[in-house]
């Protein structure tokens, strides 16, 4: 990472003990109610400071200072890629939460700098961990996104090792890191490392964004990747 | 393209080629031959005269053989044309000065036609270039032996326009007919594709409407029951029924992307059966794959569907298509179908030996009461689908 993107906005790493705040953009009251319930049951609880189907909710208080934005990509007729890019540019941590599972959309969100992409079918298990991970800048790749990375056959896809690809697929298929590890004769820790490495590679290939900078910094600090690997 | 039209286009282009060949044969045997025989002993002598003529006849026969075999000249066309041009250049240089623009130069009225023949399937501009090349060769003696007199130049002009013009015109007509045949074939192919797409879309639409009705039949009483209070939202079975209905609807909404994929249609049918037995199925699809032969589809779905048919509780079904790069750097298509499901009474033993049929490798893992079966097809495993 010879010329890394500048870090803008608030400090990316927050104290893990403090309370996490989130704001959700979604037009279905049932979804909002469900997310509110999950956030309330989370340990520690996540405070959902605002919710609604207006994008202005994300830019005005109290939503404007929420740690994490839960973003329904398919609010309108077209996916809200431009709105997503604007949020990312403003240094927001965005968890895209969509009813659609198609790979190109998920990968485009990641490329634009979304923190992660989550399908609504995965929400029950993965939304709260994803919000918590977003607040701590720890990569979080839910199974559907893992499948989208595995299925990527675009010309500019990052180069992945066979072990990384097999891990992506096993995690996508089983939704269980323990089972994936068992199948591939790896430890759960190694499975997590492979998945994180892939996420870092995609962050590195994406456009400059605070998410990218934060993920790469953290990955280098944790010794997950060597700076030389990300060059070029 | 429909077979009928494909056959018609091929036979039409062949007839066109035969027509051009006939024109050249007639010119060679009924126009050029009498001229040649009338002056066979004139300079440059009978041997050169007849040699040149036989060379042209040989080229004509070669073309006739290619037409009969329905083959193009391919990479031989330019060597052949250059040989003819070289022979023609030698011939003009051996002619007595002043005879180049007269009927003594019978070679000139024949050679351009070979451009029309040999360059039949090339753009018109290459025929024009060849004919221009013949004219340039004709003008070589003028350059070497000094300017010719006026009548000779006029003669050259007339010959150039009449002979070259006729040749280029024929090539133009043949090219136009060739383009029309090509356009007709591609139009028909487009129409055929549109018809197929429409038919598939109609079938899919009917099928989807049927399933919307089915969902209405099962979801409506559930919603009505929740609304009028006869069903308790806290009841486990009600929660379960809601989850199943939601999964079915989600799948129906997501379907528009993959119209008419047989592998998915077969999987969906199995998923629907499992759902009717009360299994909560989550089907997730990523990536794309080519149209797979039936035996590959069967091998891919066999084991996973067996698991699904005996599953209880919940099942996760995934289909993922991708392109891998093998050790030699070749791109290899892969498709994997996986089912992870609760199964009662399975022994808690893990790892079952992988099996392989039709290029599909199937692995199974048992995990407590869950079983995970994964079938993977790779295009390079020598299966019937590997040619794609």
A5-9, B205-209, B337-341: segment of lowest average pLDDT? A5-9
Using an 8 Å CB-CB cutoff, list chain A residues near B363: 183
Domain assignment of residue B204, yes or no: no
Residues B261 and B174 in one domain: no
Q: Does A171 touch chain B (CB under 8 A)?
A: no
Task: Please report, for the domain that includes residue B359, its CATH number.
Answer: 3.30.565.10
* Residues B154, B42 share a domain: yes
Yes or no, beta carbons of B284 and A121 under 8 Å apart: yes
Answer whether residue A44 is part of any domain. Answer: yes
**Structure confidence at residue A9 as a pLDDT band (50, 70, 90):** very low
Interface contact flag, A150 B322, Cβ < 8 Å? yes
Residues B180 and B264 in one domain: no
Among residues B138, B170, B190, the one where a domain terminates is B190
The verdict on residue B207 lying in a domain is no
Residues B131 and B27 in one domain: yes
ipTM associated with this complex: 0.83
Give pLDDT tens digits for A165-195: 999 999 999 999 999 999 999 999 999 999 9
Between A63 and B102, the more confident residue is: A63
pLDDT value at position A230?
Answer: 64
Residue A206 Cα distances to A201, A216, B375, angstroms: 9, 11, 33
Give which of B251, B284, B342 to mutate to test A binding, by max A Cβ within 10 Å.
B284
The dihedral of CA A205, A201, A225, A162: what is its sign? Answer: negative
Instruction: Compute the nearest-CA separation of B259 from chain A (Å).
Output: 14
| Mean confidence (pLDDT) of chain A | 84
Of A102, A121, A165, which is closest to B282 when you measure between CB atoms? Answer: A121
| Residues in chain B, total | 388
**pLDDT tops 50 at residue A13:** no
Question: In terms of domains, do B88 and B182 share one?
Answer: yes
Cα of A223 to nearest chain B Cα, Å: 28
Write the CA distances from B90 to B83, B87, B111, B128, B142, integer angstroms: 11, 5, 13, 22, 14
> Do B250 and A121 lie within an 8 Å CB cutoff?
yes
Q: Which position has the token pair 């994929």?
A: B261
Q: Do A99 and B250 touch (CB under 8 A)?
A: yes
Q: CATH number for the domain including A190? A: 3.40.50.2300
Task: Report whether pLDDT(B261) > 90.
Answer: no
Gap between the Cα atoms of B7 and B289, Å rounded: 31
Q: Do B257 and A102 touch (CB under 8 A)?
A: yes
In A172-201, the residues whose Cβ lies within 8 Å of chain B are 172-176, 179, 182-183
Residues B25, B172 within the same domain: yes
Q: Are A95 and A132 in contact (CB under 8 A)?
A: no
- How many Cβ atoms are within 10 Å of A7's Cβ, its own excluded? 15
Q: Is B368 on the interface with A (CB under 8 A)?
A: no
Chain-chain contact of A147 with B254 (C-beta, under 8 angstroms): no
Q: Facing residues of B38 across strands? A: none
| In a domain? residue B139 | yes
**Average predicted confidence (pLDDT) for chain B:** 82
Contact B105, B35 (CB under 8 A): no
Distance (Å) from the C-alpha of residue A157 to the closest C-alpha of chain B?
A: 11
Q: Is the Cβ of A101 closer than 8 Å to some Cβ of chain B? A: yes
Q: Is residue B175 part of a domain?
A: yes
Structural domain total, chain B: 2
The lowest-confidence range among A59-68, B3-12, B78-87, B290-299 is B3-12
| Cβ pair A23, A69 in contact under 8 A | yes
Structure tokens at B183: 């356009």
Task: Taking residues A105-121, report their average pLDDT.
Answer: 90
Q: Which of B190, B223, B246 is the last residue of a domain?
A: B190
Does residue A10 belong to any structural domain of this protein?
A: no
Instruction: Report d(CA B132, CA A218) in Å as an integer.
Output: 71
Task: Report yes or no: B307 at the A interface, CB cutoff 8 Å.
Answer: no
What distance in Å separates the CA atoms of residue A159 and residue A153, rounded to the nearest whole number?
Answer: 11
Residue B350 counted as domain residue: yes
Question: Is A169 part of a structural domain of the chain?
Answer: yes
In a domain, residue A117? The reply is yes
Of B140, B171, B190, which residue is a domain's last? B190
Please check whether residue A15 lies inside any domain of the structure. Answer: no
Residue B36, burial from CB neighbour count under 10 angstroms (0-12, 13-18, 19+): buried
Any domain includes B261: yes
Domain range for residue A63? 20-230
Nearest CA in chain B to A147: B286
Q: Which of B339, B243, B334 is nearest to B283 (CA)?
A: B339
Alpha helices in A24-95 (DSSP H): 29-41, 56-59, 81-89
Contact B287/A at CB under 8 A:
yes
Average pLDDT estimate for B276-280: 85
Residue whose structure tokens are 């050169």 = B48
| Residue A158 and residue A201 in contact, taking contact as beta carbons nearer than 8 Å | yes
Q: Which residues of B95-111 are buried (b: 16+ CB within 10 A; e: fewer)?
A: beeebbbbebbbbbbbb
Residues of chain A in contact with residue B247, where contact means CB-CB under 8 angstroms, are 121
- How many domains does chain A contain in total? 1
- Count CB-CB contacts under 10 A for residue B201: 12
Nearest-CA distance A103 → chain B (Å) = 6
Mutating which of B315, B319, B322, B378 best tests the A interface, going by the most A Cβ atoms within 10 A? B322
pLDDT the model gives residue A182 = 92
Spatial separation of the C-alpha atoms in residues A136 and A128, rounded to whole Å: 13
Return contacts of B180-183, CB within 8 angstroms, 24+ apart.
B181/B9, B181/B12, B181/B13, B181/B16, B182/B9
Q: Chain A residue with minimal CA distance to B333?
A: A153
Asked if B182 and B290 sit in the same domain, the reply is no
**Which of B195, B379, B204 has the alpha carbon at shortest distance from B290?**
B379
CA B335, CA A59: separation in Å to the nearest integer? 43
Which helix H or strand E contains B324, and what residues bound it? strand B312-325
Domain membership of residue B218 (yes or no) is no
Q: Percent of chain B at pLDDT above 90?
A: 11
Decide if A47 is inside a domain. yes
B340 touches chain A (CB under 8 A): yes
Q: How far apart are CA B339 and CA B317, in angstroms?
A: 5
| Cα separation, B121 vs B74, whole angstroms | 9
More confident residue, A144 or B103: A144
Q: How far does the CA of residue B333 sit from the closest CA of chain A (Å)?
A: 10
Any domain includes B72: yes
Check residue B5 and give its pLDDT. Answer: 66
Q: Is B324 on the interface with A (CB under 8 A)?
A: yes
H or E element in which residue B336 lies: strand B331-342
Contact with chain B for residue A144, Cβ under 8 A: yes
Task: Write down the pLDDT at residue B2.
Answer: 53
Across the A:B interface, residue pairs with CB atoms under 8 Å apart total: 76
With respect to residue A78, please indicate whether it lies within any of the assigned structural domains. Answer: yes
The helix (H) or strand (E) run that includes residue A104 is: helix A103-112
Beta carbons of A99 and B287 less than 8 Å apart = no
**Residues B260, A77: contact at Cβ < 8 Å?**
no
Task: Tell me how far apart the alpha carbons of residues B381 and A183 are, in angstroms, rounded to a whole number.
Answer: 22
Nearest residue in chain A measured CA to CA from B375: A173
Cβ–Cβ < 8 Å for B304, B373: yes
Residue B342 lies in domain = 257-387
∠ CA A55-A61-A63 to the nearest 5 degrees? 55
Task: Report DSSP state, residue A122.
Answer: G
Query: CB-based contact (8 Å) between B326 and chain A?
Result: no
The residue behind tokens 């989208």 is A148
Query: Does A47 lie at the interface with B, CB-CB under 8 angstroms?
Result: no
Q: Which of A46-60, A192-206, B180-194, B243-257 has the lowest mean pLDDT?
A: B243-257
Please answer yes or no on whether B254 and A101 come within 8 Å at the CB atom: yes
The 10 Å CB-count burial string (b at 16+, else e) for A172-202 is bbbbbbebbbbbbebeeeebbbbbbbbbbbb
């Amino acid at each position: 990472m010879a010329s890394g993107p500048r870090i803008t906005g608030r400090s990316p790493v927050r104290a893990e003990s403090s309370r996490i705040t989130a704001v959700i953009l979604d037009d279905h009251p049932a979804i909002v109610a469900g997310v509110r319930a999950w956030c309330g049951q989370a340990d520690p609880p996540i405070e959902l400071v605002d919710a609604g189907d207006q994008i202005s909710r994300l830019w005005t208080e109290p939503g404007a200072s929420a740690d994490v934005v839960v973003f329904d990509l398919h609010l309108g007729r077209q996916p809200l890629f431009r709105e997503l890019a604007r949020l990312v540019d403003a240094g927001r941590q965005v968890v895209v939460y969509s009813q659609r599972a198609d790979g190109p959309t998920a990968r485009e969100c990641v490329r634009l700098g979304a923190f992660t992409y989550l399908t609504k079918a995965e929400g029950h298990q993965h939304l709260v961990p994803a919000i918590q991970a977003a607040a701590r800048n720890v990569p979080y790749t839910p199974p559907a996104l893992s499948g989208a990375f595995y299925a990527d056959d675009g010309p500019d896809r990052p180069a992945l090792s066979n072990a990384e690809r097999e891990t992506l697929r096993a995690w996508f298929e089983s939704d269980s890191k323990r089972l994936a590890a068992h199948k591939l004769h790896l430890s759960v820790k190694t499975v997590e490392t492979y998945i994180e490495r892939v996420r870092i590679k995609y962050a590195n290939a994406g456009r400059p964004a605070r998410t990218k900078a934060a993920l790469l910094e953290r990955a280098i600090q944790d010794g997950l990747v060597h700076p030389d690997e990300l060059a070029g | 393209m429909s077979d009928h039209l494909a056959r018609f286009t091929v036979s039409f282009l062949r007839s066109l080629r035969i027509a051009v060949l006939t024109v050249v044969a007639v010119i060679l045997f009924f126009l050029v031959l009498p001229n040649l025989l009338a002056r066979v002993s004139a300079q440059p002598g009978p041997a050169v005269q007849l040699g040149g003529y036989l060379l042209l006849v040989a080229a004509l026969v070669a073309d006739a053989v290619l037409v009969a075999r329905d083959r193009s000249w391919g990479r031989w066309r330019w060597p052949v044309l250059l040989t003819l041009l070289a022979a023609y250049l030698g011939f003009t240089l051996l002619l007595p000065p002043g005879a180049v623009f007269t009927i003594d130069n019978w070679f000139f009225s024949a050679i351009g036609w070979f451009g029309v023949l040999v360059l039949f399937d090339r753009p018109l501009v290459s025929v024009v270039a060849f004919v221009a090349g013949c004219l340039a060769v004709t003008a070589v003696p003028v350059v070497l032996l000094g300017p010719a007199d006026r009548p000779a130049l006029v003669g050259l002009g007339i010959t150039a326009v009449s002979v070259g013009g006729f040749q280029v015109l024929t090539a133009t007509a043949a090219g136009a007919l060739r383009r029309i045949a090509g356009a007709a074939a591609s139009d028909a192919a487009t129409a055929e594709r549109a018809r197929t797409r429409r038919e598939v879309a109609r079938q899919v639409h009917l099928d989807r409407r049927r399933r919307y009705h089915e969902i209405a039949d099962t979801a409506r009483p559930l919603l009505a029951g929740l609304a009028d209070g006869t069903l308790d939202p806290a009841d486990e079975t009600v929660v379960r029924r809601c989850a199943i209905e939601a999964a079915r609807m989600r799948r129906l909404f997501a379907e528009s992307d993959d119209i008419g994929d047989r592998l998915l249609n077969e999987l969906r049918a199995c998923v629907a059966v499992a759902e009717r037995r009360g299994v909560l199925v989550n089907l997730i699809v990523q990536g794309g794959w080519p149209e797979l032969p039936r035996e590959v589809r069967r091998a891919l779905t066999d084991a996973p569907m067996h698991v699904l048919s005996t599953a209880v509780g919940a099942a996760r079904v995934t289909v993922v298509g991708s392109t891998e790069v093998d050790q030699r750097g070749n791109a290899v298509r892969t498709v994997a179908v996986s089912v992870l499901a609760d199964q009662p009474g399975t022994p808690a033993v893990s790892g079952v030996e992988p099996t392989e049929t039709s290029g599909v490798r199937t692995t199974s893992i048992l995990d407590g009461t869950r079983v995970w079966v994964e079938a993977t097809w790779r295009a390079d495993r020598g299966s019937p689908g590997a040619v794609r």
